Structure 1
Amino acid sequence: MRRVRYDTAGGPLFLEECLVPTPGPGELLVRCEAVGVTLPVVRKVTESAEPIPLGGEIAGEIVSVGAAVTRFRAGERVTGLCFGHGYADFALLGEAMASPVPDDASAVDAVALVRSGLVAMGALEAARPGPGESALVTAAASGVGHLAVQLARARGAARVTGAVSDPAKAPFVRSLGADEVVAYDDPSWGAPVDYVLEAVGGELLTSAVAALAAGGRLVACSSGGGTVQAYDLLVGAKSVTGFQIARIAREQPEKYERWRQELWRLFTEGVLRPAVHAGFALEEAAEAHREIESRSNLGKVVLVT
């Protein structure tokens, strides 16, 4: 089978031929049809001292199952987060991380919706949104952000603002239901909001906190780091909460599954529309990474095998 890997920090990425893996206890062997490309994986390629397996969201058909697997069988279609080598024709997926793909959904739909949607939904839940409140979503055109804009609207936000790196993304973000779109370097992000879903990190955290109304809540769900000044929180009685979806998956599997089912329900009802920026071939993985690094994507970047 084919697999993407790299040997030194920063790449380059290349295809290699290797043996099809054998599922161990609790694992599914999946023939990958689509693989989601994420910013955390792209960052690890450039920042990790040692090469790592290129994992991420995968979707496809189960070929075989390991011992102790009870929820799935060969021939079923699933999606989930692969922690090993996911940029491949075949990948191993832990049963606990797997979710069935409905018959009327494609593999590309699945990788664009489920993992990114879980992050967006979890961040929104952490913000504790109330009916009629206002929301701001950073990285609003990203794989997570474009779903967060739609979810905030579906949860009753009276006003949704999307923050983007490039003003050219504004028509796309407005098409998702955003009332306003601002660029990161705009001197003002408009009227203050009740909560911010922040998916960029770094220096943008300062602007995101400033965008909050008194008593507002910021949920940080980015791997980009950054620092928040305590004084900026104190003067407006504002708060910051960190959100990590992996912790929910490990410690609250019932909630994780409930959110997954809710995402598919919203998708089936047409409330949630995952957008795919481009479908790259497996051998074009380096180009897909460059698309993420340049922040030019509108929606999810996907590898199609």
Structure 2
Amino acid sequence: MQAIVMTGAGGPEVLVAREVPEPTPGAGEVVIRAEAIPVLFPETLLRSGAFPMPAEPPVTFGFEAVGTVTATGADVDTGLIGQRVAVTTLGYGSYAEYVCAPADSVTPVPDDLSAADAAAVLMSGSVALTLLDTAALTGSETVLIEAAATGVGAALTQLAKTRGAARVIATAGGPAKLAQARKLGADDLIDHNDPDWPSRLPEILGDATLDLVFDSIGGPTAAALLDAMTPLRGRVLSYGFLSGAPAQITATDLLFRGLSLTGCAGPHWLARVAAARATALHQVTSGALVPQIDTILPLDQAAEAHRALESRTPLGAVLLRP
């Protein structure tokens, strides 16, 4: 079968199409014939060497895939064979025609949902729902969503008002993404390509303050938001660092403002995200969440997919199709 092999850490060119043996499921595993494979921003960090790979190269790359179960291993219900599902690997192996994954990662795909739409929201939708559950919005709060036009930010922007946000202030990079964030439901917009963008918040907020920040940018700008937040109940949910570094906020920064920061990462957090996958797919079938797909490329163009993602230009998910 064809697969995309990461030959070593580096640029997109380290992702090479090769013929490899079809996987055989072990105990507790399934194999699916992949129909749609999401290309995720965290994968670009793994490929580049910014984060350690869970397996040494050369190795078939990729986190997630959507397709039809073709085989099951020992201790797995054979009734899964023929079912359309989404799966999550152990950190490698999904950029391929056939994908082996733990059976406990299987999420059934509703009959009226396409493989592409399921792949587009599997990660972004489940993370957004988990963030919103953690936020416990009250129905009267003002929230800031960073990088609101694509990925998790786009899902948050679509869902926030249905989950208790009264006003959504969104950041995005450039006119096209700002227009996209507006289309998705943002009330106010800030171009975060301006490094001094937090200084615009007082003008936009007026007499209001930020009750909640969904922080995906991190870095030094995170601390610049704190004076615009609601004393005693303002909170930051930090779940990404598109700037290249986590939020540079100290306990002192929070303590003297009466604010809180929750780190949304680690195994316990990821277990909650995994539990939200089915709900994310049903949010699409209910119409609450509209998949945003920018590009679908053939599997052998995985390197080009990574270049597109790193350019920060796509206005939706980038998918691979075997």
TM-score for the superposition, normalised by structure 1: 0.91
Q: Distance in 2 between matches of 1:91 and 1:268?
A: 25
Report the residue type matching 1:264 in the other structure: L
What aligned pairs does 1:62-73 form with structure 2 within 5 A after superposition? 62-70=69-77, 73=80
Structure 1 unaligned residues grouped into runs of 5+: none
Q: What is the CA–CA distance in structure 1 between the aligned matches of 2:119 and 2:142, rounded to whole Å?
A: 29
Structure 2: stretches of 5+ with no match in the other structure: none
**Scaled by the length of structure 2, what TM-score is found?**
0.86
* 1:1-305 to 2 correspondences below 5 Å: 1-11=1-11, 12=13, 13-47=15-49, 48=51, 51=57, 53-70=60-77, 73-83=80-90, 84-184=92-192, 185=194, 186=197, 187-189=199-201, 190-191=204-205, 192-214=209-231, 215-222=233-240, 224-226=244-246, 227-244=248-265, 246-248=267-269, 250=271, 256-257=274-275, 259-305=276-322
Q: Percent identity at matched positions?
A: 35
Amino acid at match of 1:6: M
Moved over 6 A (4+): none
CA contact (8 A) 2:150 2:292 kept: no
Q: Distance in 1 between matches of 2:312 and 2:95?
A: 21
Aligned partners of 2:34 and 2:67 also within 8 Å: yes
For each residue in 1:158-183, what CA deviation from the matched residue of structure 2 results, as whole angstroms up to 9, or x when unmatched? 11111112233111111111111211
RMSD across aligned positions (CA): 2.1
Conserved? CA contact 1:119–1:244, under 8 Å: no
Q: Structure 2: which amino acid aligns with 1:97? A: S
Q: Is the 8 A contact 2:110 2:282 kept in 1?
A: no
Q: CA deviation at 1:63?
A: 0.7
Aligned length in residues: 301
* Structure 2 residue matching 1:188: 3-state secondary structure: helix
Residue aligned with 2:151, SS: coil
**Offset of residue 72 of structure 1:** 5.0
The structural deviation recorded for 1:289 is 0.7
SS in 2 for 1:110: helix
Which stretch of the first structure deviates more once superposed, 65-74 or 89-98? 65-74
The one-character-per-residue Cα deviations of 1:199-256 (angstroms, maximum 9, x if unpaired) are 2222342244444222211111115532213333123211100113752454x6xx85
Q: Deviation of residue 283 (structure 1)?
A: 1.4
Change (3 A) 1:245 1:155: farther
